[in-house]
Amino acid sequence: MDELSLLMRLSVALAIGLLVGLERGWRSRDEVEGQRIAGLRTFALTGLLGGVAGALTALTQVGLLGFAFLGFAIAFTAFHLLEARAGQSRSVTAVVAGLCTFLLGAYALLGDQRVAVAGAVAMTGLLAMREPLHQWLRTLRWEEIRAVLILLAMTFLLLPVLPNRTVDPWDSLNPAEIWLLAILIAAISFGGYVAVRLFGERLGVVMAALAGGLASSTATTLTLARLGRQHPDSARLLAAGILLAGVVMVLRVGAVALLLNPALAGALLPALAVAALVQAVASLALLARNTRQEQPDLAISNPLDLATALKLAGFIALVLLAAQAVRDWVGNSGVLLVAAASGIADVDAVTISMARMADGTLAVLAAQAIATAVAVNTLSKAVIAAWVGGRGIGAYVGGASIAALGAGAAVLLT
């Protein structure tokens, strides 16, 4: 390591200490001078000390860094213990922050400087957000903690052990993909619950619909329709959310198709844009007509409806089997029929496969197949809204969906 590189890395180690020390010093700014054990200067020197220890380790042997860290940890902890006894403090945050600052300073010399700086920024952010984080913890309920634990177990315990390959004779069912879909549906359900709690009923539904539409508009429709069954007076608000999720889905399909095959732009994008515009206008109209009296408290008792998620994932698995059977029976001439069958549950698979297949004269057929999948998916969500949410939501979503599909079809066929 040349001298210029060494000086730059030591400067990064010092900057890491200054960043953490700025937050620590600001928090203890009202204390009497001389009684602050660890403030701006102490943490700045700690980062620099870690950097120097890292530099010496690079020149000598690895064990030096361990001895330097042990010595610093003993000294820093001892002084903090004296401060704690004098001030009746039981917090160990400053000690952990000091140890992390030393190690990040050393890593700035021995490893990737960007990682060291990112770690320092993350640590400083956590230190600065003490009050908001504590307030958030006080508002947590056991049901919410349990929902997070279930999602984590589904994602990091069960998903890795499932086979990531097709296991049926028709080569269509992938257990890992189906389970991932169940996780996605459950996560959207939980996300809607969090959005309603954070932003209130009206804005929370809008935020949940926009975010859910990026992942799965079908799952978002199911979640909001289920709320509509429990709160029929919120039919306009929840129907507007379902339509917004549909708008995001249509725009997402257009973006994916355009990225994979720009040749589809002329045949497909105008129809999708018109359909999305009609749905957006209908959604905004429903939101505008949703008065305060029609906005009851959307009390969601279960933040994670796992049973519903599993049922929908199982249904989609059956649709995949049906689509494969149609493909085997009809052959390539049944592209539109396969797209329609697949569109009942999902449009992404059809969009990706058709966009990759489209070449020359097949561009028009691929555009029609993608549009068919979008149309069938839109109608299936209207059926889900009516079946799960009731007549009110079904009427709003169904009427707007039919209008959007009619406008899109007129543009596509002209």
pLDDT tens digits for range 222-234: 888 888 887 788 8
Token pair of 351 as six digits: 């969009």
User: Do the Cβ atoms of 97 and 20 come closer than 8 Å?
Assistant: yes
Burial of 112 (0-12, 13-18, 19+ CB in 10 A): exposed
Whether the predicted pLDDT of 81 surpasses 60 = yes
Mean pLDDT of 162-179: 80
Mean pLDDT of 288-302: 56
Give the residue from 356, 354, 381, 382 showing the smallest Cα distance to 370. Answer: 354
Q: How many CB atoms lie within 10 A of CB 117?
A: 17
Whether the predicted pLDDT of 90 surpasses 90 = no
> Tens of pLDDT along 48-57?
999 999 998 8
In this prediction, residue 108 has a pLDDT band, given cuts at 50, 70 and 90, of: very high
Q: Is the pTM of this model over 0.85?
A: no
Per-residue pLDDT, 130: 84
Whether the predicted pLDDT of 117 surpasses 90 = yes
Whether the predicted pLDDT of 34 surpasses 60 = no
In this prediction, residue 101 has a pLDDT band, given cuts at 50, 70 and 90, of: very high
In this prediction, residue 294 has a pLDDT band, given cuts at 50, 70 and 90, of: very low
User: Do the Cβ atoms of 412 and 273 come closer than 8 Å?
Assistant: no
User: Distance (Å, rounded) from C-alpha 51 to C-alpha 57?
Assistant: 10
Whether the predicted pLDDT of 412 surpasses 60 = yes
Give the residue from 50, 45, 42, 68 showing the smallest Cα distance to 109. Answer: 50
Residue predicted with more confidence, 313 or 128: 128
In this prediction, residue 296 has a pLDDT band, given cuts at 50, 70 and 90, of: very low
Per domain, the residue ranges of the chain are 3-135, 141-413
Mean pLDDT of 201-207: 72
In the chain, % of residues over pLDDT 90 = 22
DSSP category for residue 345: T
Whether the predicted pLDDT of 291 surpasses 70 = no
Mean pLDDT of 17-42: 76
Per-residue pLDDT, 65: 87
Per-residue pLDDT, 293: 47
Q: What is the mean pLDDT of the chain?
A: 80
Cα-Cα-Cα-Cα torsion 270, 274, 276, 279, nearest 10 degrees, comes to -170
> Tens of pLDDT along 315-344?
667 766 765 676 667 665 566 777 787 787
Position 242: which residue type? Answer: I
Mean pLDDT of 145-155: 84
Reduced to 3 states (helix: H, G, I; strand: E, B; else coil), residue 373 is helix
Whether the predicted pLDDT of 78 surpasses 70 = yes
Highest mean pLDDT among 156-170, 209-223, 373-387: 373-387
Mean pLDDT of 227-254: 86
Whether the predicted pLDDT of 375 surpasses 50 = yes
Residue predicted with more confidence, 182 or 380: 380
Per-residue pLDDT, 257: 81
Q: Which of 64-68, 105-109, 158-162, 361-365 has the lowest mean pLDDT?
A: 361-365
Per-residue pLDDT, 37: 58
- 3-state SS string for 39-79: CHHHHHHHHHHHHHHHHHHHHCCCHHHHHHHHHHHHHHHHH
Distance from the first to the final alpha carbon of the chain: 68
Half-sphere exposure for 75 (CA within 13 Å, toward CB): 10
User: Distance (Å, rounded) from C-alpha 245 to C-alpha 220?
Assistant: 7
In this prediction, residue 396 has a pLDDT band, given cuts at 50, 70 and 90, of: very high
Mean pLDDT of 164-187: 78
Mean pLDDT of 293-304: 51
User: Distance (Å, rounded) from C-alpha 180 to C-alpha 163?
Assistant: 12
Whether the predicted pLDDT of 88 surpasses 70 = no
Whether the predicted pLDDT of 67 surpasses 80 = yes
Whether the predicted pLDDT of 21 surpasses 80 = yes
Whether the predicted pLDDT of 300 surpasses 60 = no
Reduced to 3 states (helix: H, G, I; strand: E, B; else coil), residue 291 is coil
